[in-house]
Amino acid sequence: MAKKYENELALESSPYLLQHAHNPVHWKPWDDSVFAKAKKENKLLLISIGYSTCHWCHVMEKECFENVEVAQVMNAHFINIKVDREERPDVDQVYMNALQLMTGSGGWPLNIVALPDGRPVWGATYLHKDQWIDVLLQLHKLYEHQIETLEEYADKLEHGVKNMDVVSINNDDSINSFDFEETLQFWARQFDLENGGTKGAPKFMMPNNYHFLLRYGFQTNNNELKEFVHHTLKKLGFGGIFDHINGGFSRYSVDEKWHIPHFEKMLYDNAQLVSLYCDAFLDSKNSLYKEVVCETLEFINRELTDPSGGFYSALDADSLNEYGILEEGAFYVFTKEELQEQIGKDYPLFADYYNINDFGKWEKNNYVLIRNKEDERFCSAHQITLKTLSEKKKQWKTQLLEFRKIKSRPRLDYKILTSWNGLMIKGYADGYRVFKDTSFLEAALKCGVFVSENLMKSDGGLYRCFTKEKASIDGFLDDYAFTIEAFISLYENTFDQKWIDLAQTLIKYCFAHFYDEKTSMFYYTSKTSQKLISKTTEFRDNVLPSSNSVMAKNLFWVGTFYNNETYLKTSRQMLLNVIPEIENHPPGYSNWLDLWLNFSNPFYEIVICGKNALKKLPDLNTFYIPNKIVAGSLKESELPLLAKRFVKDKTLFYVCKKGLCGLPTDDLQTVFKSINN
């Protein structure tokens, strides 16, 4: 069917940009040429940033960008630019900082009006049609008649943006003197002891927060803290935020009990949660965690895996309802009548297990499945065995998956992003490490090969995206950091040196192209990248750990592996730089705190050498040992950690600290004893 309108976005590959390709707005992609055009035509820039699964982006598109009256105003007075924030996080980061300075908050869609040189003068998130037209006409009038006012404001705002993400060198060696206990008490005031997570709503899952808290509780014997983490993970696994039919987590919960999700499913959330649940399983052996991991990876395999081995970015929150209208969550929710018809005679049991009652009801007579009972307690109440319940759950899920096939599916964002694929490689590798399922390792290795062959350049650099069989956009620091981390995880599970060699290549590239010698930190964009109004240094951890914190941990790992003092000193200095910030907002530095434990507490290099090294590795990985790296070789090696440790016809463990190793042993219990003493 012919489209009435078409703009320049029709030539793009991003699913988000293509969603707007047939708006009557004369959208242009982000490019140097738009600034020249704005200057030539003496027009303000209108920069609208979003992503394909953003619900309010869809709403604003329908109300504003598909409206001819709105488009006439935008086309007459502005050069209009659409940006996919996942393709261009550098652009998003700069203008999100500007919006937060202007309004005190942020979000998407992120709409910025800027001078022709890109300096912002106004910003907002979602606005309805009349508000949007009114503010655009006011800004156009101001630009025509009081441009000096906008220039003055742009100068001040630019100065503010440039000073937002500044890190100073810290010459105070305070790693060992830093006392985290008082900071932890401050952090703990935010804990929701009833529902898990942090108090209030909406609730985001923040995997790197709980990864650190679990490790800290383990290493300091703080059982109360560990119990809080496990309580949170149980509530997440029970909640409606977890898709009990198809596996996988939604992005966040709009309520306090993790019941009603914002229904989009993002690769980066699920990847990190897989890794978190894997480590939590080692600490607790809770069968729920294994169920969550396996069902999430089944979802990834079924819904977000490209035949090439790469992983897609996301599934939308919205899908067409029975009336052909886009509605959030339409694909995922059920009415009681639908469930009764699909489940049949087992419905009373199903309804009690998943709370098809007032506890599980949402809106419009729809239900989001949520659990609130342990399986053992449920089975006792209904006088059935755990095996029977497990069989019934499999049958229920099969029935409801089939039922969902008649519904309109959410849209798929098929971008393959390097950084998020790095996270998913690690998630699959962790799944293999903990649960010994070789299909998990195969998926991790297949994606690792895909990244190395399709997203790595011959000079050691990376591309950001892979869509429609083509790599594009130069990589940002998170692409490097998460890919290095992924290659390290592949090495630790295979002892194949090629993955460490690739990690080393990427690290060298980062030092050459991203490193700021003045601060010992890494810029988010390369030194030769397209110039924005501000060059950012991303160091605050959020739902995703910051690229600098991941990079610092990578340098610690590879520096330890190669006995590379430059890497270790850089990692230490990066940590020192952010320590003064931690006390004010510890959740925003949890991945840094994980690195802090590496430097401030005992840390081990566990080396396995011998022809049976890979056969011995699974036994080592049955225990939760967060303060270690693992290296190994099936033959003689000259690598620093492995050199002169191979003994023919034997497979030996070495427990080392800072390269100094104890006596070799073939007894795993001796290994654990030396670590625990």
**In terms of domains, do 189 and 226 share one?**
yes
Whether 168 is in a domain gets the answer no
Of the candidates 250, 146, 151, 270, which has an alpha carbon nearest to the alpha carbon of residue 203? 250
Assign 527 a pLDDT band (cuts: 50, 70, 90).
confident
Tell me the HSE value of 562 on the side-chain side, using a 13 A CA sphere: 17
Residue 325 lies in a domain: no
Q: With 80 as the cut, is the pLDDT of residue 677 above it?
A: no
Confidence bin at 2 (pLDDT 50/70/90):
low
In this model, does residue 673 exceed pLDDT 60? yes
Same domain for 641 and 540: no
Helix (H) or strand (E) holding 282: helix 267-284
479 and 580 together in one domain: yes
User: What are the pLDDT digits (tens) for 601-626?
Assistant: 999 999 999 999 999 999 999 999 99
| Percent above pLDDT 90 for the chain | 90
Q: Which of 402, 371, 374 is nearest to 240 (CA)?
A: 371
CA distances from 234 to 228, 287, 409 (A): 10, 11, 29
Same domain, 576 and 626: no
Q: Is 175 among the domain residues?
A: no
Final residue of a structural domain among 162, 194, 214 = 162
Confidence of residue 658 (pLDDT cuts 50, 70, 90): confident
Residue 1 has pLDDT above 60, yes or no: no
Domain count, the chain: 4
With tokens 């430059």, the residue in question is 566
Residues 111-122, mean pLDDT to the nearest whole number = 97
Q: Which of 389, 406, 423 is the last residue of a domain?
A: 406
Three-class HEC string of 451-494: HHHHCECCCCCEEEEEECCEEEEECCHHHHHHHHHHHHHHHHHH
Same domain, 88 and 112: yes
Does 508 fall in a domain? yes
* 649 within a domain of the structure (yes/no): yes
* 3-class SS letters over 598-614: HHHCCCEEEEEECCCHH
Q: Stretch 660-668: mean pLDDT, rounded?
A: 90
Shortest CA distance to 439 belongs to which of 538, 242, 300, 539? 300
Residue 371 resides in a domain: yes
CATH (domain of 260) = 1.50.10.10
Quick one: which of 374, 358, 428, 369 has its CA closest to 397?
Answer: 369
CA distance 290 to 457: 37
* Mean pLDDT of all residues in 358-369: 93
Q: Clarify whether residues 297 and 372 are in a common domain.
A: no
Helix axis angle for 477-494 and 547-562, nearest 10°, is 40
Mean pLDDT for 353-368 is 94
Could you tell me if residue 3 is inside a domain? no
- The answer on 497 and 624 residing in a single domain is no
Flag whether 428 is in a domain: yes
SS3 (DSSP) at 631: strand
Query: pLDDT tens for residues 38-79?
Result: 999 999 999 999 999 998 999 999 999 999 999 999 999 999
pLDDT score for 513 = 97
**pLDDT band, very low/low/confident/very high, at 108 (cuts 50, 70, 90):** very high
Residues 60 and 124 in one domain: yes
- Local confidence band at 554 (pLDDT 50, 70, 90 cut-offs): very high
Q: What is the pLDDT of residue 417?
A: 98
Question: Are the beta carbons of 393 and 343 closer than 8 angstroms?
Answer: no
Same domain, 18 and 117: yes
CB under 8 Å to 138, separation ≥6 — which residues? none
- Shared-domain flag, residues 632 and 547: no
Residue 536 tokens read as 């950012």
Q: DSSP code of 311?
A: B
Residue at which a domain ends, from 564, 579, 600: 600
pLDDT band at 258 (very low <50, low <70, confident <90, very high): very high
Q: What are the C-alpha distances in Å from 8 to residues 23, 411, 526?
A: 10, 22, 27
Residues 426 and 489 in one domain: yes
Looking at the fold, whether 346 and 250 belong to one and the same domain comes out as no
Q: Which residues of 187-215 are buried (b: 16+ CB within 10 A; e: fewer)?
A: beeebbeebbbbeebebbbbbbbbbbbbb
- 96-100, 391-395, 561-565, 637-641: which range is least confident on average? 637-641
- Domain with 396 in it: 332-406
DSSP 187-208: HHTTB-TTTSSBSSSSEE--HH
Whether 491 shows a pLDDT value over 60: the answer reads: yes
Query: Is pLDDT above 90 for 173?
Result: no
- Between CA 536 and CA 514 the distance in angstroms is 11
pLDDT band at 627 (very low <50, low <70, confident <90, very high): very high
Q: Work out the percent of the chain whose per-residue pLDDT is above 70.
A: 100
Q: Check which CATH number belongs to the domain holding 29 and give it.
A: 3.40.30.10
Worst-scoring range by mean pLDDT, 58-62, 174-178, 486-490?
174-178
User: Is residue 169 pLDDT above 80, yes or no?
Assistant: yes
The sign one gets for the Cα dihedral 447, 449, 453, 456 is positive
Does the pLDDT at position 659 exceed 90?
Answer: no
